[in-house]
């Protein structure tokens, strides 16, 4: 296996191509633009569909169209663009068609800035658009992991006929790391039984998210909820490091978890036994495993590049017995290992704060 | 040319566009109601004035009208029957 | 009783489903659905056709037209159709949109689909109001026209001017075929059918974006009898929205 140096955005784009991406629609926005640029060359080269849309609104609806036609389809954007896509995402969820979305999160709210952030957590894991729905949200912390998750994202989207989000940030998108690229998959598939391919030799099909009769609409919701329970049962993913002997557990996802890992190494060198719990699926959230760990390690430090969004899920998981502290940087600021180390030091060996919430303020 | 029409009363919503457009004035409105509560158009053509001109079927928004015309060329059997 | 010598000279097209529509008495959507179905049947492309319904009264067009159908968010039908067509370039893809959907919330999507020369067909039904929500002002509402959201009549000083979509899109280099027609009497209806046929033929020949704008009646929201509403198309709509061929590239002319 060849290890090659890849930029995150381009690596995700190539992984999607190799995973069977047949139709891509996107719109430029930093720090995701290299993904679009890469595919503007790569997709036509392979005879696959590429359109630079007039807006994120149009891009997501092109994805919606291609998904109804049975394509393996994807778009990518960054926070403000993903906000604009929420209309289409709600329709896609309601219509039960598969697609993949990449969100290279940046500093917000509003126009914010182009520095890395994680403040789309609530929007991504709670649904985001109108109505009761969920996307399966995957948060890579390395480029290799982003490649693997993206490569397999289409299978997940098709299995559950829904949305899979790759939730990364500008760090993952724009840094370079050695990556082993997976092999190119064959594209093309047998009729899936619902896609729009022209009513030849079969009754016509309709793909719609309308359910004018509330009874019908409630049945659609029940079907969606049943599928979400199935996803919760099957797809929870997380990573643990050095939790066996830990007195303190850091909980972080994506690039915040990488930085926390550096702080944990330093803390261990100073004799503080710290472990890391890293959710890979932000939805479904690994509530159960985290609850088990908190039984044994009732002191937790949540680190995020936002004002405390995953924090709520951690609290739900561990209940009121555990002491949960929070450290977050916002607005595109990235926490430094020494800042996290200071937080770890403040909690060890006995917690000096109960449920403290620290957000760096300038 | 002789023609006739058949109006599907269940589809008709009584908009009367066919009534107004008919050049022979052989379409009227029934006293009865459709299941949807409309009074449908009906053909009232005792003298066989309908020519099957297609104006009513063209203007009908509910595509409720089928139009017929007398066949121009007849089979020998039909000619024989007509002559008898 | 029908004489045995009578033969059918007109009946419902095969792909117009045998159901009663939800449209109001005298609404032009029924006529336009029929024309689309007749053209698809005559071209023999039912099995390769994918429709994209919009939001508004025609949201349920898929209940009447017997093709594979997707239903788009408000205004986004051209974007959805783009996604479908780019993945299935050999299929016949069309949108069916009203003026609220196409000219208001979907203005960006229609302009860019046209500018890209997407090889899709757009059936654009312009009745100058938002019908489904009960007759509010649309971008196409005529000056001084009363609607439920312009009760004193559209005052152009505060509410702006109507958009002439066909003329606007015809300024772009992308489109192959853009015409405006009406369904105000049998003659205009027959000409509309010819235009719909040309638009689909343009797509089948891969010539690019085609759109037929159709001036249509909404008697209920115009507060008119159906026959008066058809007169209103002639007397009020056509003077503001002249019928005509706004863009017909040579390759489309050659199809005729």
* pLDDT tens, residue by residue, A41-85: 999 999 999 999 999 999 999 999 999 999 999 999 999 999 999
* pLDDT tens, residue by residue, B19-75: 999 999 999 999 999 998 999 999 999 999 999 999 999 999 999 999 999 976 555
DSSP string, C117-183: T-S-EEEEEE-SEETTTTSEE-TTPPTT--BTTBTT---HHHH-----HHHHHHTSSS-SEEEEEE-
Distance CA B23, CA B10 (A): 24
Say if A and B touch: at least 3 Cβ pairs within 8 Å: no
Which chain A residues contact residue C59 at CB under 8 A?
210
Q: Give B 29-48 residues with CB within 8 A of chain C.
A: 36, 38
Domain residue spans of chain A: 3-189+205-234, 238-359
Radius of gyration of chain B (CA): 15
Residue A35 · residue A76 · CB < 8 Å: yes
Partner residue facing B15 (CB), from C7, C12, C26 = C26
Count of beta carbons in the 10 Å neighbourhood of residue B73: 6
> Which are the contacts of A281, defined by CB distance < 8 A and separation ≥ 6?
A136, A137, A138, A139, A235, A236, A237, A238
Chain C touched by A358 (CB under 8 Å): no
pLDDT of residue A181: 98
Say if C and A touch: at least 3 Cβ pairs within 8 Å: yes
Mind telling me how many Å the CA of C210 is from chain A's nearest CA? 18
What φ, ψ does residue A195 adopt, rounded to 5°? -75, 155
Distance CA C161, CA A299 (A): 64
Distance CA A344, CA A266 (A): 10
* pLDDT tens, residue by residue, C203-247: 999 999 999 999 999 999 999 999 999 999 999 999 999 999 999
Cis peptide before A172 (omega within 30 of 0): no
Q: How many residues does chain B have?
A: 84
Q: Residue A355 to residues A302, A358, C221: CA-CA distances in angstroms?
A: 11, 10, 60
pLDDT score of C2 more than 80: no
Q: Do the Cβ atoms of A69 and C88 come within 8 Å?
A: yes
Class of C29-253 in CATH: alpha beta
Chain C touched by A61 (CB under 8 Å): yes
* pLDDT tens, residue by residue, C149-161: 999 999 999 999 9
Instruction: Give the position of tokens 């598969």.
Output: A98
pLDDT of residue B76: 59
Q: Do the Cβ atoms of B63 and C230 come within 8 Å?
A: no
| Residue C196 vs residue C256, higher pLDDT | C196
Q: Do the Cβ atoms of A87 and C73 come within 8 Å?
A: yes
Neighbouring chains of C at 3+ CB pairs under 8 Å are A, B
pLDDT score of C4 more than 90: no
Q: What is the DSSP-derived secondary structure letter of residue C24? A: P
Torsion-angle region of A331 (φ positive above 0: left; ψ -120 to 50: alpha; else: beta)? left
- Residue ranges in chain A modelled with pLDDT below 70: 1, 348-357, 359-362
Structure tokens at B45: 């053509």
Counting DSSP H helices and E strands in chain C, the numbers are 11, 10
Confidence bin at B77 (pLDDT 50/70/90): low
Count of beta carbons in the 10 Å neighbourhood of residue A213: 9
Distance CA C204, CA C195 (A): 14
Residue A236 · residue A286 · CB < 8 Å: yes
Q: Do the Cβ atoms of A58 and C53 come within 8 Å?
A: no
What is A3-189+205-234's CATH topology?
Rossmann fold (3.40.50)
> Which are the contacts of A341, defined by CB distance < 8 A and separation ≥ 6?
A263, A266, A267
Total beta-carbon pairs less than 8 A apart between chain B and chain C = 91
> Which are the contacts of A146, defined by CB distance < 8 A and separation ≥ 6?
A8, A11, A12, A15, A140, A166, A168, A172
Architecture of A238-359 per CATH? Answer: 3-Layer(aba) Sandwich (3.40)
Confidence bin at C256 (pLDDT 50/70/90): confident
Which chain C residues contact residue A69 at CB under 8 A?
50, 83-84, 87-88, 91
First-to-final CA distance of chain B: 21
Q: Do the Cβ atoms of C80 and A196 come within 8 Å?
A: no
**pTM attached to this predicted model:** 0.95
Distance CA A324, CA C174 (A): 59
* pLDDT tens, residue by residue, C80-139: 999 999 999 999 999 999 999 999 999 999 999 999 999 999 999 999 999 999 999 999
Say if C and B touch: at least 3 Cβ pairs within 8 Å: yes
pLDDT of residue C237: 98
pLDDT of residue C3: 64
pLDDT score of C148 more than 60: yes
Counting DSSP H helices and E strands in chain B, the numbers are 3, 4
Residue A55 · residue A27 · CB < 8 Å: yes
Q: Residue C255 to residues A253, B23, C194, C198: CA-CA distances in angstroms?
A: 60, 35, 12, 8
Distance CA A55, CA B31 (A): 56
Q: What share of chain C is helix, strand, coil (3-state, %, to 5)?
A: 40, 20, 40
Q: Which CATH number describes the domain made up of B3-83?
A: 3.30.70.20
Residue A250 · residue A274 · CB < 8 Å: yes
Confidence bin at C41 (pLDDT 50/70/90): very high
pLDDT of residue C5: 83
């Amino acid at each position: 296996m060849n290890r090659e140096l890849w930029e995150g955005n381009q690596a995700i784009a190539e992984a999607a191509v190799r995973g069977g991406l047949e139709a891509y629609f996107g719109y430029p926005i930093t720090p995701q633009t290299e993904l679009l640029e890469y595919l503007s060359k790569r997709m036509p080269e392979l005879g696959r569909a590429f359109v630079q849309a007039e807006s994120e609104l149009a891009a997501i609806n092109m994805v919606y169209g291609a998904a109804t036609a049975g394509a393996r389809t994807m778009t990518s954007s960054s926070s403000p663009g993903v906000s604009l896509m929420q209309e289409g995402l709600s329709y896609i969820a309601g219509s039960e068609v598969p697609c993949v979305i990449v969100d290279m999160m940046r500093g917000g709210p509003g126009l914010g800035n182009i520095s890395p952030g994680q403040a789309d957590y609530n929007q991504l894991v709670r649904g985001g658009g109108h109505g009761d729905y969920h996307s399966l949200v995957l948060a890579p912390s390395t480029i290799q992991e982003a490649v693997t998750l993206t490569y397999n994202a289409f299978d997940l989207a098709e299995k559950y006929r829904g949305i899979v989000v790759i939730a990364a940030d500008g760090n993952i998108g724009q840094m370079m790391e050695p990556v082993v690229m997976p092999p190119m998959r064959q594209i093309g598939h047998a009729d899936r039984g619902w896609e729009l391919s022209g009513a030849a030799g079969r009754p016509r099909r309709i793909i719609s998210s309308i359910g004018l009769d509330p009874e019908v609409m409630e049945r659609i919701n029940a079907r969606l909820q049943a599928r979400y329970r199935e996803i919760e049962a099957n797809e929870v993913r997380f990573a643990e490091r050095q939790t066996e002997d830990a007195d303190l557990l850091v909980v972080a996802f994506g690039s915040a978890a990488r930085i926390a890992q550096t702080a944990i190494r330093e803390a261990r060198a100073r004799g503080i036994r710290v472990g890391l719990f890293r959710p890979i699926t932000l939805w479904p959230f690994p509530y159960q495993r985290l609850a088990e760990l908190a039984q044994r390690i009732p002191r937790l430090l949540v680190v995020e590049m936002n004002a405390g969004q995953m924090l709520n899920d951690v609290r739900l998981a561990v209940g009121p017995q555990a002491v949960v502290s929070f450290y977050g940087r916002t607005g595109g600021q990235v926490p430094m290992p020494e800042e996290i180390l200071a937080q770890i030091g403040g909690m060890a060996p006995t917690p000096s704060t109960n449920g403290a919430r620290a957000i760096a303020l300038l | 040319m002789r023609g006739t029409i058949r109006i599907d009363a269940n589809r008709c919503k009584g908009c009367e566009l066919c009534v107004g457009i008919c050049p022979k004035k052989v379409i009227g409105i029934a006293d009865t109601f459709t299941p949807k509560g409309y009074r449908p158009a009906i053909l009232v053509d005792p003298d066989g004035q309908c020519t099957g001109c297609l104006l009513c079927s063209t203007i009908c928004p509910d595509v409720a009208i089928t139009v017929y015309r007398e066949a121009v060329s007849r089979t020998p059997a039909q000619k024989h029957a007509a002559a008898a | 009783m029908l004489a045995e010598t009578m033969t059918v000279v007109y009946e419902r097209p095969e792909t117009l489903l045998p159901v009663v529509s939800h449209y109001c008495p005298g609404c032009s959507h029924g006529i336009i659905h029929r024309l689309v179905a007749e053209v698809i049947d005559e071209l023999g492309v039912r099995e390769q056709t994918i429709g994209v319904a919009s939001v508004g009264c025609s949201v349920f067009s898929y209940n009447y037209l017997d093709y594979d159908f997707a239903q788009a968010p408000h205004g986004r039908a051209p974007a959805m159709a783009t996604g479908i067509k780019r993945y299935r370039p050999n299929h016949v893809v069309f949108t069916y949109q009203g003026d609220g959907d196409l000219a208001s919330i979907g203005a960006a999507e229609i302009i860019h689909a046209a500018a890209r020369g997407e090889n899709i067909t757009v059936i654009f039904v312009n009745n100058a109001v938002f019908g489904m929500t009960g007759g509010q002002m649309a971008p196409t509402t005529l000056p001084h026209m009363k609607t439920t959201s312009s009760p004193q009549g559209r005052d152009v000083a505060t509410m702006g001017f109507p958009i002439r979509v066909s003329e606007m899109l015809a300024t772009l280099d992308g489109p192959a075929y853009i015409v405006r027609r009406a369904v105000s009497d049998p003659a205009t209806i027959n000409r509309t059918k010819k235009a719909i046929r040309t638009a689909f033929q343009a797509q089948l020949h891969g010539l690019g974006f085609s759109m037929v704008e159709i001036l249509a009646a909404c008697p209920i929201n115009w507060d008119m009898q159906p026959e008066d509403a058809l007169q209103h198309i002639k007397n009020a709509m056509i003077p503001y929205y002249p019928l005509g061929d706004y863009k017909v590239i040579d390759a489309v002319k050659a199809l005729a």
